Structure 1
């Protein structure tokens, strides 16, 4: 089977929204080529990749790649992707060079290209993300392992926004808590919350494909009794004061539009974890949270990204 590789030369700021656009267009996941990886320090005990070829990375910006099957609709799909990416300018997202290129690859080459980018990665004090095809022995008895298959789910759990959310969940989720995961994607945050002892986790995503993928990952990690996945737009229809913790790893522009709903759905004294925020829009989100009745407890920074932990007054 022939596959088409679509490659977008863009910026770190645009990675998440472009990844979402590619996912909605039918891609099972994305490959991100970021020159930061060439200088990133790694601990060898977790098995990360070391022998990276500088020729595979851009001198500036990042390259986001995805793979689509070659069919009669491919041309229309690519044009729709380009249009959606260009529309991100409306949200003041810097697209950088915004160069889109297309090339054809064989299925065997595609599968190999996928797997070489994913290895076990320890992302927090407790959690390690492990691709399903890797054999991994826990380093300690209390280590929590999340298995993910990037070929069937949007998000591998290793992007800074996701890592910060999981670190924040570690600090806030208590046994017996009720958690809501808004825009669940691969379901990785819901899986983490369940493993931390949450009694009930509700995960929502507007994208039907994401819902299907998240359900597969929930089953794979044996947390189906705790986590319920549903197709839903943000917190529409969610009962008042129904959550101890709400987590949302989505765009800053979306977060500021539904902070009042978060305030309605989280219990007094409950926690809201917001991520997917670029540093330039940190204050915008903080102002919206304070206006909705939250105290800012902590701001976490990682690379160019921000996560905010806020408590409902």
Structure 2
């Protein structure tokens, strides 16, 4: 079988979002590089209309994303190649590893066993590390949580293993729902995490929670803020990432007057923001 290999120029901060959209278009494999994505799809599956759709997707992102090159290549085992790039790693109090890793878990670490679909929520990205490290500092135990845009479910799983009471994880992507359910089973926390397909409408009738966490992307986070406010208890907390340092000023303005920022965590150009609800 022949495949089309597309090299797509796009800034690092938008790659995971674009990959999710390409995944829904039946692309089979991805490689993330600095400022570009390499995406693979069967030759029969990519038509002229699909190329136009990709151009439209790229046009929705800031900057000058474009298809840099296209070539026909022979079929490969994309998953095997990709899995070779996913390694076990320590992140704060956690040890994150896929099931195929033979790495030993350090005695002082909490195991998060995550088999991700493609490149989402592996812990390799700065924003995931920031969220995991912040959760370990902020959770006291017994909290109820909403995990918006859950991806692989890694943050919900981490929260439960830190002592949170229960979590509701939602995502708009079906692959994410499937993968999250797989991962919560791997980690033995399926009784503590509810997984739902959809966006913020799935939390409309849910009892207010202690913490909402969202590691998504600035514009998506801003679009969800109005729905987060009633979903949080009085003095409930927000933990947000998928954000660049350059997003902070705008985020501060959008959070007023409903939230007070308590802490900003940094890694390279990425940030996570911890805020408290100050209005009813």
SS in 1 for 2:167: strand
Q: Name the CA distance, whole Å, in 1 between partners of 2:78 and 2:50.
A: 19
Flag as ranges the 4+ runs of structure 1 deviating above 6 A.
Answer: none
Distance in 1, matches of 2:55 and 2:205, equals 38
Pairing 1:168–2:141 present: no
98-107 vs 207-216, which moves further: 98-107
Contact persistence 1:153–1:186 (CA under 8 A): no
State the secondary structure of the residue aligned to 1:164. helix
- Residues 155/189 of structure 1: CA separation in 2 closer, same or farther (3 Å cut): same
1:22 and 2:22 are equivalent in the alignment: yes
SS at match of 1:118: coil
1:118 aligns with 2:96: no
Deviation at 1:108, TM superposition (A): 4.1
* 1: CA distance, partners of 2:78 / 2:202: 38
1:262 aligned partner: 228
**In the alignment, what sits opposite 2:109?**
143
Separation (CA, whole Å) in 2 of partners of 1:21 and 1:120: 27
Identify the match of residue 244 of structure 1 among 210, 221, 226: 210
How far did residue 94 of structure 1 move?
Answer: 2.3
Q: For each residue in 1:155-193, what CA deviation from the matched residue of structure 2 results, as whole angstroms up to 9, or x when unmatched? A: 323211111111121122232111100011111111111
1:43 alignment counterpart: none
2:37 corresponds to which of 60, 64, 70:
64
Matched, 1:234 2:207: no
| 1:133 maps onto 2:100 in alignment | yes
Superposition TM-score, scaled by structure 1 size? 0.80
Equivalences, count? 278
Deviation at 1:115, TM superposition (A): 2.4
Q: CA deviation at 1:278?
A: 2.1
Rounded Cα–Cα distance in structure 2 between residues aligned with 1:214 and 1:259: 23
CA deviations over 1:50-86 (Å, ceiling 9, x no partner): xxxxxxxxxxxx2222333443445543442232112
In structure 2, do the counterparts of structure 1 residues 68 and 186 end up closer, same or farther at CA, with 3 Å as the change threshold? farther
Name the counterpart of 2:163: 197
Contact 1:25 1:81 in 2 (8 A): no
**Bigger mean CA deviation after superposition, 150-159 or 239-248:** 150-159
Correspondence for 2:249 among 266, 277, 283: 283
SS in 2 for 1:271: strand
Give the C-alpha shift of residue 3 in structure 1. 4.0
Partner secondary structure for residue 311 of structure 1: strand
Q: CA deviation at 1:240?
A: 6.5
Q: Distance in 2 between matches of 1:84 and 1:221?
A: 35
Greater relative contact order (Cα 8 A, min sep 6): structure 1 or 2? 1
Aligned-pair Cα RMSD in Å:
2.4
Do 1:21 and 1:81's aligned partners in 2 also have CA atoms closer than 8 Å? Answer: no
After superposition, the Cα gap between the structure-2 partners of 1:237 and 1:148, relative to the gap in structure 1 and judged at 3 Å, is closer
The question of whether the paired residues in 2 share the 8 Å contact of 1:194 and 1:200 is answered with yes
**Which SS does the other structure have where 1:71 is aligned?**
helix
- The CA deviation at 1:111 is 3.6
Structure 2 SS opposite 1:270: strand
What TM-score does the superposition give when structure 2 sets the normalisation length? 0.88
